[in-house]
Amino acid sequence: MQNQQVLEVIGNLKGRRNYEEKKSQKLGFDSLYDYIEDKLKKASEAKKEKKMKTNSSLLKKNLSKTTPLKKQSSCSCC
């Protein structure tokens, strides 16, 4: 089973192919295909994590805006 996206990336490497092959061997991958596949998987996971962080930060921001805190004064006259 071959992933079209991986084959497309490998086809577009052109002059960087030798560099990527050496890097994949250095990192312990059996082939350039395995290395590119892993690289794409990590990129998609990072994208998902970034989206999750963005959503959670927006929720925190919205929650803090909706519940304003009243300032308590030290004296009873104010």
| pLDDT one-digit tens code per residue, 14-70 | 999 999 999 999 999 999 999 999 999 999 999 999 888 887 777 777 666 555 566
pTM exceeding 0.85: no
Residue 13: other Cβ atoms inside 10 A: 14
